[in-house]
C-alpha cells in the first residue's frame, strides 16, 4: 500500500508468506484490512490534544500535526478513499464488501472546536466542522497535490490558511449575531 498498490487479502497473504486462510481469519475483506492499516497509520493523529483556548490555533495545530503523517502515508489513505468511494457507489446495489467506515476527522474537529461552545450555536459549530472536513484529510491533500502540484508542506500551508480563515469568519459571525441579539433584547 505504501507503494501505491491496493492488494487483496490473498495478495497480502502471499506477500507475507502466510496461508490465505490465516489472512482471511484476520481480515475477511479488503475493507477490513485497509481499515486496520489506516488505524495504524493514523496512530498519533487520533491522540491529538491541545490546551490552547483559541479555536483558530487549535485547528491549525491539528492540521500541522496531521498533514505530515497524512503525506507520509498518502498511499494508504488514498486506498482508503478509493474503498470509501467504491462502497458509496455500491450502496445502491448488492456488495460482497462490508461498508468501509470512516469518521475520525469528525471527532478530531469536534475536539479542535471545543472552545467555540458557548460562543457559537451547535448548528454553527457543526457547519464549521463540515466546512473544515473539506480541507482536513486526504481529499483536500489530493486536490492540492494532484491538481495544484503542491508538495506536502505547501499543501499543509494552504490547508492551515484556509482553516484559519474559516474559523475566523465563523467566530466573527457568531459574535456579530450575539451582539445583534443583545441589542434587540435591550431595545
pLDDT higher for 30 or 19?
Answer: 19
Q: Copy the grid coordinates of residue 120.
A: 457559537
Residue 70 CA, chain-centre distance (Å), reads 9
Q: How confident is the model at residue 57 (pLDDT cuts 50, 70, 90)?
A: very high
Residue 2 in any domain: the answer is no
Residue 23 in any domain: the answer is no
pLDDT higher for 31 or 49?
Answer: 49
Contact yes or no for 90/147 (Cβ under 8 A): no
Residue 15 in any domain: the answer is no
- CB-count burial class (<10 Å; 0-12, 13-18, 19+) for 30: buried
Residue 172 in any domain: the answer is yes
Residue 5 in any domain: the answer is no
Does the pLDDT value for residue 82 go beyond 50? Answer: yes
Residue 10 in any domain: the answer is no
State pLDDT tens for residues 86-124: 876 655 554 444 455 567 899 999 999 999 999 999 999
Domain that holds residue 151: 30-186
CA distance 77 to 7: 14
CA distance 54 to 1: 37
pLDDT at residue 99 in the model: 52
pLDDT at residue 164 in the model: 98
State pLDDT tens for residues 128-157: 999 999 999 999 999 999 999 999 999 999
CB atoms within 10 A of CB 162: 18
CA distance 148 to 3: 22
Residue 41 in any domain: the answer is yes
CA dist list (Å): 50 to 45, 59, 100, 124: 12, 9, 29, 21
pLDDT at residue 157 in the model: 98
Total count of domains within the chain:
1
CA distance 162 to 117: 21
pTM (predicted TM-score):
0.80
Residue 16 in any domain: the answer is no
Comparing 33-37, 110-114, 121-125, 165-169, which segment has the lowest mean pLDDT?
33-37
DSSP string of 102-156? --HHHHHHHHHTGGGBTTB-HHHHHHHHHHHHTTSSHHHHHIIIIIT---HHHHH
Amino acid at each position: 500500500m505504501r507503494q501505491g498498490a491496493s492488494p487483496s487479502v490473498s495478495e497480502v497473504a502471499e506477500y507475507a508468506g502466510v496461508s490465505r486462510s490465516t489472512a482471511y481469519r484476520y481480515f475477511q475483506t479488503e475493507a477490513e484490512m485497509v481499515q486496520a492499516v489506516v488505524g495504524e497509520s493514523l496512530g498519533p493523529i487520533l491522540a491529538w490534544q491541545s490546551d490552547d483556548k483559541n479555536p483558530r490555533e487549535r485547528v491549525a495545530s491539528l492540521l500541522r500535526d496531521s498533514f505530515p503523517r497524512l503525506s507520509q502515508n498518502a498511499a494508504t489513505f488514498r486506498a482508503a478513499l478509493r474503498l470509501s468511494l467504491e462502497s458509496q457507489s455500491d450502496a445502491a446495489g448488492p456488495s460482497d464488501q462490508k461498508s468501509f467506515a470512516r469518521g475520525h476527522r469528525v471527532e478530531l474537529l469536534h475536539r479542535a472546536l471545543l472552545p467555540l461552545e458557548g460562543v457559537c450555536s451547535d448548528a454553527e459549530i457543526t457547519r464549521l466542522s463540515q466546512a473544515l472536513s473539506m480541507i482536513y484529510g486526504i481529499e483536500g491533500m489530493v486536490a492540492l497535490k494532484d491538481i495544484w502540484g503542491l508538495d506536502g508542506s505547501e499543501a499543509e500551508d494552504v490547508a492551515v490558511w484556509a482553516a484559519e480563515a474559516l474559523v475566523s469568519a465563523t467566530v466573527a459571525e457568531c459574535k456579530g449575531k450575539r451582539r445583534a441579539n443583545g441589542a434587540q433584547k435591550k431595545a
